[in-house]
Structures are given as structure tokens and as C-alpha cells.
Structure 1
Amino acid sequence: MRRGVPALLSLALALAVTGAAAPARAATGAVTDAPTEFATTVHGDAADVYAPPQDEIGGRLPVALLLQGANVDKAYYAAFARAVAGYGFTVVVPNHQRVIFGQAGLYAEEAQAAWTVAWARQEDGRAGSPLQGKIDTGSLVLLGHSFGGAAALTLTTGACVPPFCGEPAARPAELKGAALYGTNNTPPGGAGNPPVANTVPVALVQGTADGVASPAAAEGTYQAVQQPPKMLVSVTGANHYGLTNTQNPAGALPDPAAQTVAQETSVAASARWSAMFLRTALGDRWAAVWLYGVGDSVDPAVTVKYVRR
């Protein structure tokens, strides 16, 4: 959906592509240093937290929970999480161990959202926390990859669907939106996508070279998402591991398809569009101007389709 825009407006909002992220950071200040990083636990799960530098936090930060792909260790999402944090989020990346189909491993589940809301309240009030008094405990958004994205997509409907629902898990009232990479709900055999009765905005971020979760499956899922706003962001040349630090992380199912774009390019594009979509879902008007106004026109890394309302 590329569209013409006035040159000056295009130039100003193109800063979001080059790294300044002007629309999204207008409310939080430009992030110029390394983000705040520390280790924590969420409901007993080891987790990494990423946020802007202390002196760059201009207000309370919404929480973005990243639900990992199957057997992808949290460390492999560091670059992506740092990039999203730079747009004004507290990004939480847990390692969640459990057993499904008789196999023990890292498998995300829906209940992690409610656990993260509880963690945010505790961390916001914890004396000595780098984020004490700086977390927006009423705003949760979801990031997800592959299996974790499917768990997040299911949670947006409020349904408890095995294997993504290891235990009964209510959709938190704090949930405001989801941006999910390499994610679809296409059943085995590709017999048509069941409707996604989402209650919050959903963006699907999809590599065009993904050999594990196909672009066609993402398209089918995008069409199945019932409630706008919804968006499908196609990252040119990225494969299934376009948002991880490296290709084919150890322990995860390899993608047989080669990525044809630099890893830093796919990570940055995935983070940029995920963050801008989620900031828009949270009511950031500047992010909405970029997201729906000129983002696709000034960003050569992606093509985009959407239904705004």
C-alpha cells in the first residue's frame, strides 16, 4: 500500500526508519544510549528485561511481553528486544519450560500474560528496581515468535486452546494489542484458517522467505482476523528467524530457506513495525500518523496491508 506523501512530511517521518523514531519517541524522548537491562524472574521463569536508559524515560512505560518460539532461548531475542525497548517499552523476555506432547522444552503459554501483569505491579513498587515507579502497570502488549506468537494470537481471543494453554488462563484486562512474527493459525494440511475472534488489535509480521511458517499461511491468518485494526507486514527477504540475533538458533527447528537480507535489517524492520503498531494500539497519535500515513512509503524493507477500522 505505497502512497504518495508530501516531501517534507515524508522526510520528517522517515526518521523512524533511520533510527530516530521521531513519532514513537515524541512522548518518551529520543533514546541515544544503551537501554536499561537486568535479569528477573516471572512466576519462577528466568527472564531478561529491556527498557530505555534511566535518564531517557519521560513517563511510565507500557510492558511488552515477548513469547518465545519453540526452544528458542530468550538470549536470542536480545537485539530485537533492545530495539523495541527503544520505542518506549519495558520488554520482558522469559524462558518458560514445560512439557507438551511428552517433550520437555521452551514452550510459551497463554498464562504468561497474567503472570507478567503481576510481575509489573511488583517490579514497579520494588525498592531498588531500575524501573521503580516507571512502569505503566495498566498496559500490556504482546510480542510473539512462531509457537509463542500462536499462543499470543489465541490469547487475543480469550480462548484456552491446547497446547498454547497449559493451564486455564484468562485474558488480562490490561492487554491492549499484539504484534507477532512468523505466526499463523493454519491447520495441518492447510484446510482453511478458522476465524480469529480477537478483541485487541493484531499485527502479523512475516518474512517473505520464511520456510517454516509460510507467507501464504500468514495471509490466510490475516484474512481470518475478524476485528480491526489489523495489519500484515511482509519483511522482504527475511525467513523464520529474521528477528533473532542469529539464523537458526541452537535447539530450535532450522529454517531450510535461506534469508536474503542482512540480519540487522530484518531485526530492525521487525522491531520498528511491531513497536509502531503497538504504540498506535496504546493511543500514540504520532505513531499512528507514521504507521498509517507514510511508513510503508518510506521503508524499503517491507510491504504492508491493513484494515484500520
Structure 2
Amino acid sequence: MGLRLLARAVLPAVLGAVLVGAPGAPAQAVPAVASYTTTVGGDTADVYYPTGISGRLPVALMLQGAQVGRGFYADYAEAVAAYGFIVVVPDHRRLLFFDLDFYPEQSQAAATADWMGEEDDRSASPLLNRFRLSRIGLLGHSFGGAAGLSVAESKCVFPFCTGLVYDRPSEVKAASLFGTNNKSFLTGAFADVDNEIPVQLVQGLQDGVALPADAEETYGRVQDDPKQIVRITGANHYGITDVQNPAGADPEVAGQTLTQAQSIEIAARWSARFLLAAFGDDAAEEYIWQTGDAADPYVTVTGDS
């Protein structure tokens, strides 16, 4: 898959004090979500957090799709935050193959771990003493998801890492990645994924950019449990974006039969609960491994816990 085709990151969902839920799944009250803009590792970043949940919260770091600005992830980030996360969405601009644009890399995980410690102590922070400092979950889309797979392996993989070695920050405990595979854009080959943390792939079955067959091949190469692949009928490559075919990204060739709000809600629900399960939440664990598949008519799941 080419660098442009590895991308796509964006978001929608109407959140607030409303009821949401896929058909067949129980509706739930969604807490209000607030946001602010800051700097994380030198990158301008938007931070989303639920206002109606007290106590310390884990972080979910969103690794954007290539050439897609952070603003396109607003609705998806809000949807994940409503499950009890501080969601961080940076704009990571760098030069790659003579192209200066948004290309996530593995170093963002460590930069986020450093930032959350500083932000937790900053007296003017809206999130003063609110971070669960030992917990980061990775979210990723396309190119950003492929970078997340390399973080999960704790392995330096070009073009997501530019050094010789890479060590995954201990705070990173799990990864949920949308529209993602590890097919080489140079050779077309797939490598084994020697993951050190739980990995979930969320794949739209109408994806014409990151093909479902490539996600299946990648899932089969994920070496260690827990691992899971969630297939969403009716979603395409832009299923977590605010709009279809966001400006700056390569166009999707396949239409989406779900609405943007539907595909965002479904993807956010499965990703958030997978991360929560990895953090020790019993209810989330029961949902993703036992009850969720049967309750959601748009989803089929394969996994090993």
C-alpha cells in the first residue's frame, strides 16, 4: 500500500447528553466531552476528556492517517473519550520521501508519556491530577495504525521509526487500529507481528483503500494473544472520519452504506472497550469477548483472548 493509501484519519458522531448504541445493543448515556488545544512533543494537539467522570483517566493516543489533519478526528475522539479516556490527537508533521506533511511515527508514544506526566502536574491544566499515568492505549488509522503495530512490537520499522532501535514505553498497554495492515508498500509482502501488547484490528468491509483481505492477512500474522479483528459491515476507509474523502487524502473508491455517525459509534465502542479490557475492566472484557458480537448486527469478530 502506498504512503498516501496507508492514510485516512477523521471523525464524526454527535455526542452530548444523549443516548447512543447500535441496534441490538443497549443504549447508554453519553457524558459531555470537553476539549482544549495544547502542545505534545512539539506537535499541536487536541485533547478530549469527559466532564462527567471523576477520578484519574487513562490516555488514548490517536496516530493520524497520513496527510490528514487532526481536526478530522474530532467526533471519533469525542466518542472514545466518552468511555472514560483522555484522548490526545496530535498533528505530527515531518518530511518523508520529500513530502512535508502529516506522517505519524513511533516516537509519539514516548512524547505522549512525557507530556501526560507534565500535564498532570501543571497547575493551569484542565486535567490537573486527572491522569492515570501508567496507562496509554494506542488508536491509529491507516498509516498511523501501521505505526501503532510497530510500537506494539517494540521494533524500529521504517518509515515509522528513523533510528536503529526502538523501545516501547511501558505505559503503552494495548493498541486498537482502524483500516490498518502491515503490507509493505515496496514489496507487497507481509511480516509477522511479534506484538508485546494486546492488538485489535478494526476493519470496514467496504474499505477500498486498506483492503479487508490485507487486514485478515495481517491479523493472521499477529503472533501473541490477546488479539482480535472486528469487521464492520457497511464501513469504508473513512468510517472514523468526520467526512468522506477528507481534503488532502486520496479518495476512497468504495461507498459506505452506514452513516458516518453509525460507523464512528461502532468503531469507537469496540476500540474503547478493547483498551478498557486490556486495562482490567471486567465489563469491557465481557463485552468484547463474549456478548458484543451477538449484540451488534453490523459486526463480526474473531479473536483469541
Taking structure 1 as the reference length, the TM-score comes to 0.88
Q: Structure 1's 189 and 303: CA in aligned 2 closer, same or farther, altered over 3 A?
A: farther
CA distance 1:204–1:264, shift in 2 (3 Å): same
1:41 aligned to which of 39, 43, 66: 39
Secondary structure at the aligned position of 1:260 is classed as coil
| CA distance in structure 1 between the partners assigned to 2:23 and 2:81 by the alignment | 17
Identity %, equivalent residues = 50
Q: CA deviation at 1:227?
A: 0.5
Residue 175 in 1 paired to residue 165 in 2?
Answer: no
Q: Which residue of 2 aligns with 1:254?
A: 251
Answer yes or no: is 1:218 the counterpart of 2:215.
Answer: yes
Alpha-carbon separation, structure 2, partners of 1:147 and 1:61: 27
**Given the alignment, which residue of 103, 109, 112 partners 1:116?**
112
**Match of residue 93 from structure 1:** 89
* Per-residue deviation, 1:193: 2.3
Distance in structure 1 (CA, Å) of the matches to 2:109 and 2:49: 18
1:292 aligns with 2:261: no
- Does residue 209 (structure 1) correspond to residue 206 (structure 2)? The answer is yes
Query: Does residue 1:142 correspond to 2:138, yes or no?
Result: yes
SS in 2 for 1:156: helix
Structure 1 residue 278 and structure 2 residue 275: aligned?
Answer: yes
| Cα deviation, residue 255, structure 1 | 1.0
Residues of 2 paired with 1:189 and 1:70: CA distance? Answer: 17
Residue type at the aligned position of 1:118: D
Looking at structure 2, the residues matched to 44 and 250 of structure 1 have their Cα atoms a distance apart, in angstroms, of 24
Shifted more, 128-137 versus 83-92: the winner is: 128-137
Choose which of 226, 237, 240 in structure 2 pairs with 1:229: 226
Following superposition, the deviation at residue 129 of structure 1 comes to 1.1
CA distance in 2, matches of 1:43, 1:176: 20
Alpha-carbon offset, residue 237 of structure 1: 1.1
Q: Does 1:129 align with 2:145?
A: no
Q: Does 1:307 align with 2:304?
A: yes
Q: Would the aligned equivalents of 1:201 and 1:229 in 2 still touch at CA under 8 Å?
A: yes
In the alignment, structure 1 residue 69 sits paired with structure 2 residue 59: no
The amino acid that maps onto 2:70 is K
* 1:293 Cα deviation from its structure 2 partner: 1.5
1:31 shift after superposition:
4.2
> Is 1:265 paired with 2:267?
no
Cα deviation per residue 1:265-298 (whole Å; 9 max; x = unaligned)?
Answer: 1000000000010100111111111111210111
CA distance in 2 between counterparts of 1:14 and 1:256 reads: 26
Does the 8 A contact of 1:31 with 1:52 survive in 2? no
Q: Name the residue aligned to 1:5.
A: none
Whether the 8 Å contact between 2:22 and 2:266 is mirrored in structure 1 is: no
Query: Which has the higher mean CA deviation after the structures are superposed, 186-195 or 122-131?
Result: 186-195
Cα offset, 1:188, TM superposition: 4.3
- Which residues of structure 1 form unaligned runs of 5+? 1-12, 21-29
Looking at structure 1, the residues matched to 24 and 70 of structure 2 have their Cα atoms a distance apart, in angstroms, of 26
1:304 is aligned with what amino acid?
A: V
C-alpha spacing 1:253/1:202, structure 2 compared with 1 (3 Å): same
| SS, match of residue 152 in structure 1 | helix
Q: Check whether the contact 2:24–2:297 (CA below 8 A) recurs between aligned residues.
A: no
Indicate which of 143, 152, 162 corresponds to 2:158.
Answer: 162
Aligned equivalents of 1:302, 1:189: Cα separation in 2 = 32
Asked if structure 1 preserves the Cα contact closer than 8 Å seen for 2:227 and 2:303, the reply is yes
TM-score, normalization by structure 2? 0.89
Please tell me the residue identity of whatever aligns with 1:163.
P
Count of aligned pairs = 284
Contact 1:38 1:48 in 2 (8 A): yes
Q: Deviations over 1:25-49 (max 9, x none)?
A: xxxxx643x2121001001100000
Runs of 4+ in structure 1 deviating by more than 6 angstroms, as ranges, are 13-16
C-alpha distance in structure 1 between counterparts of 2:30 and 2:117, whole Å: 24
More helix by share: 1
- Indicate the RMSD between aligned Cα atoms, in angstroms: 1.8
What amino acid does structure 1 have at the position aligned with 2:46?
D
Q: Distance in 2 between matches of 1:189 and 1:43?
A: 30
CA contact (8 A) 1:111 1:170 kept: no
The CA deviation at 1:17 is 3.9
